[in-house]
Copies of this chain bind each other. A is one copy, B any other.
Amino acid sequence: MTIDIKQQKGEKRKKGGGDPQVAMPSPRATPRGRPTKFDGSADRSAGILDAAEALFAAHGFYGVTVRQVANEAGVDPALLSYYFESKRGLFDAVFSRRAELVNERRMESMRRYEASTAAMTVEGCLTAFLEPVLYLWEVGGDKWRNYLRLVALVNSTPSWGGTAMNEFFDPVIERLIELLKRVLPEARDEDLYWCYNFASGALSLSFADTGRIDKLSGGLCRSGDVAAVRKRLSFFLATGTSELCRRLADGS
């Protein structure tokens, strides 16, 4: 869950036999070693995570090399191993870094909605569930755009997307289902799960930001248009969910 890397790794340096070399007067182009305290490079690992986030979101895990990430972050490739052990460790760190915040915001949003409203609605529940991520999508800047795109990509990846997504995000989804059950007491569980699945797909494709709708609509719609999605998605999903659950309420 949490990133517990950054343990020391320099237990070498024994065997320091003399081996005198000629003095090289020219200073190194890029000096190695521990950085000076106030050179502005506060936290390199965050920069690595940002670069990896953007690249993984755009090309997927296998479509990115550690050298690309290092290059984008402006560090040596070996530094990624130092901080994150392996490429997979880097990916996991990227994925989990912002997950907790997303979950907290969503939980808090649903808690507040539940507490503040006497008569909850399906659309209200879905809005409470969606608004936090739409907000981060809108005002979170490029980093949050990249992260949400990455989550969308993982969400629709068969092989190893499943475990990571379930591990991190299932509790929040269960909370949503719980709310929906109270608004739609006659709804069957399986219908709610299916409706959530449809909703998840619609949201994922929104975050994916593929640019497809731009071409399809001849420029009328823009792929990353948060306001357009916000105006439509909750309502769209809410009517679909409530009508479907009502219709299928009594047996097959």
Contact = CB atoms under 8 A, between A and B. Distances in A.
Given A166-B212, A191-B232, A202-B198, A152 B159 contact: no
Interface stretch (A95-103, A108-116, A136-144, A216-224): A216-224
Contacts of A198: 202, 205-206, 232-233, 236-237
Contact of A60 (B60, B149, B248): B60
Provide the main secondary structure of the chain A interface: helix
A113 to B, nearest CB: 21
A197 B193 contact: no
Interface string A18-61: 00000000000000000000000000000000000000011111
B211 A158 contact: yes
A231 B191 CA distance: 10
Given A59-B62, A210-B158, A240-B240, A200 B205 contact: yes
Contact of A170 (B190, B215, B221, B233): B215
Nearest to A237: B240
A208 interface: yes
Given A153-B157, A162-B212, A204 B206 contact: no
A204 to B, nearest CB: 6
B193 A217 contact: yes
A194 B166 contact: no
Identical copies in the complex: 2
A210 B63 contact: no
A240 to B, nearest CB: 4
A197 B58 CA distance: 20
B157 A220 contact: no
Give the interface centre of A190, A198, A206, A215 by most chain B CB atoms within 10 Å. A198
A213 to B, nearest CB: 5
Contacts of A217: 189-190, 193
5 contacts: A189-B217, A201-B201, A201-B202, A202-B202, A231-B248
